[in-house]
Structure 1
Amino acid sequence: MDLTRPRHRRPGHRRRVATLAALVLALLIAVVVAVVVVAQRGGAAGGTETLTADRLAPVPLLTPAAASPLPAAAARTPAPALLRLPGPVPSTGRGAFGYDDRTGPVLGGSGPLRRYRVAVESGADEEARGFALAVERALAGPGSWVDGGLRLQQVRPDSRHDFTVYLATAGTAGRLCAAGGVNIRVDGRPYTSCRAPGKVIINLERWRLSVPHYVSAKVPLSVYRTYVVNHEVGHQLGHRHERCPGRGRVAPVMMQQTLFLDGCVANPWPYRDGRRYAGPSL
């Protein structure tokens, strides 16, 4: 037998091979079409869009601090409110005052405009700008006197003004208040703040330390500061002292909350829910 000569295949064999190849090709086409249809239906049903790596925003790297979350207990527990400032408070100053030279925004939307200046006694260890901003926050509300059809604005020290808000050491506050006919002494030493004609005088000791019944009730120092500003400015606007309307009720801002609460709850605002909140006249 000659093994080098090609073997002749029958025509039927060639037809079977061609048919099998056609079936395999058709099956591959059907699989590709099915995959495309499923992918399109999945995207339409889910409302999503396929994103490639070049369309994804880079993920920011975490710093060691950001990668280490706080313990769960610490994350849930808010920082305790500041009730009073630590450290000694100057009881006397130089008797001279430095003024904040800023013109502030007009507080309130309508009504007559009352202009005020802000000054801090030299030697009080307080900045005039910081004190002025705290006064502005107290008078801006909501809930302050500007809710009653009045506007207030801090002006520069050399500008025309209706009154000045002073932050003074206890000794100087006592002298300024006495000159205006107001005795702020308790147990022989200057204790409260006061209003004298054209002067709202805030006692530095109260500004730094609040008062014992506020502290024991866990009332934040920021609330006392808002109260004392609105109380003394209320006197400047012509309001007199008021009494507690009943145990457990909210204290009127014109109540002498620096001296007592008489069963009332501390309150720094003259307006509540847009209406003037007042107690019985004293």
Structure 2
Amino acid sequence: MGRTRRGIGALAVVLVTGCTSLTGPAAPPPAATTPAAASGQPSADPEPALTTRPIPEPVQTLPDGMQRSGVASSGEFETNSVSVPTRHSVPDERRLAVQVETSVPESVDGAALLVHQVLESERGWAGWQGIAFSLLPDAEAADLVIHLAAPATVDQACVTLNTAGLWSCRLGPDIYLNVDRWFYGTPTWAEHSIEEYRSYVINHEVGHYLGFGHVGCPAPGRPSPVMQQQSIALGGCLPNAWPDVTGERDG
């Protein structure tokens, strides 16, 4: 069915690539790009319906309002089986795969379709310097792999970055999303939908992959830049999930 599994052993491979910060160097572009038409599917085809699963009740709420799911690590990942071409005619197509840890109660295909929809949105990173994203069911062939994982697994993969069981990180072409944030967001986003928060965290981490670093709130009352650490603090700015709102995509 086009699914692959990647265990904890593969996480060690990621760790030895050398990461010193949440931003790190920009991931190099792929050696060659693949036009959307090469998939043999017209780019106008409708994307399959999203099928993420219901969010489980949290098992713990910390004094600061952060919530935990209690999901344990399995060390094994399942890769999406669906593929979707980019809708954009661009010179730099990045091939994307999504993996969900087998202990995480989430649909891998539903998560993959959501991630792809966010990245291909007209409000997202698609179109920045000629980049677009296609979804393929092969993590080994992908230019970018997004892993949705248990907090302990994220901490192990991001060991030098101190994710502390709470946060997500980017290591080269691999992004590790903490499932607790995927399910519950953060107190800074409490007045907004979890769908918008997921769009934010996807765009934030992929922004690191594209070479963007962290920035602060430009002025109280203004929308936060996507590359602001909105999960931690807003600094007087307003939550914002999209790089087109603040002009980051045009930089």
TM-score (normalizing by structure 2): 0.69
**Deviation string for 1:190-236 (max 9, x for gaps)?**
11111012211110000001001211xx1111110000001001111
Which among 86, 102, 114 is matched to residue 134 of structure 1? Answer: 114
Aligned pairs for 1:16-35 (under 5 A) are none
How many angstroms apart in 1 are the aligned matches of 2:242 and 2:189?
Answer: 15
Comparing 86-95 with 114-123, greater Cα deviation is found at: 86-95
2:207 is aligned to 234
SS in 1 for 2:127: helix
1:106 lines up with 2:86 in the alignment? yes
1:164 lines up with 2:150 in the alignment? no
Q: Is the 8 A contact 1:248 1:264 kept in 2?
A: yes
**Cα separation, partners in 2 of 1:163 and 1:277, compared to 1, 3 Å:** closer
Which among 149, 154, 158 is matched to residue 177 of structure 1? Answer: 158
Work out the number of aligned pairs and report it. Answer: 187
Q: CA deviation at 1:111?
A: 3.3
Aligned pairs for 1:1-282 (under 5 A) are 86-88=57-59, 89-148=69-128, 149-157=130-138, 160-178=141-159, 181-185=160-164, 190-215=165-190, 218-272=191-245, 275-276=247-248
Q: Is the 8 A contact 1:182 1:196 kept in 2?
A: no
How many angstroms apart in 2 are the aligned matches of 1:255 and 1:119?
Answer: 25
Q: Is the 8 A contact 1:254 1:278 kept in 2?
A: no
Q: Is the 8 A contact 1:98 1:122 kept in 2?
A: yes
Q: Is the 8 A contact 2:98 2:139 kept in 1?
A: no
Q: CA deviation at 1:276?
A: 3.1
The runs of 5 or more residues in structure 2 that have no matched partner are 1-54, 60-68
How many angstroms apart in 2 are the aligned matches of 1:122 and 1:267?
Answer: 31
**Cα separation, partners in 2 of 1:277 and 1:164, compared to 1, 3 Å:** closer
Q: Which has the higher relative contact order, 1 or 2, with Cα contacts under 8 A spaced 6 or more apart?
A: 2
**Deviation string for 1:128-164 (max 9, x for gaps)?**
0111111112112121000323111111226622121
Taking every aligned residue pair, what percent have the same amino acid on both sides? 31
How many angstroms apart in 2 are the aligned matches of 1:108 and 1:238?
Answer: 21
- Whose radius of gyration is greater, 1 or 2? 1
Name the Cα RMSD after superposition.
2.0
- Paired AA for residue 86 in structure 1: E
How many angstroms apart in 2 are the aligned matches of 1:172 and 1:259?
Answer: 20
Instruction: Pick the structure with more helix per residue.
Output: 1
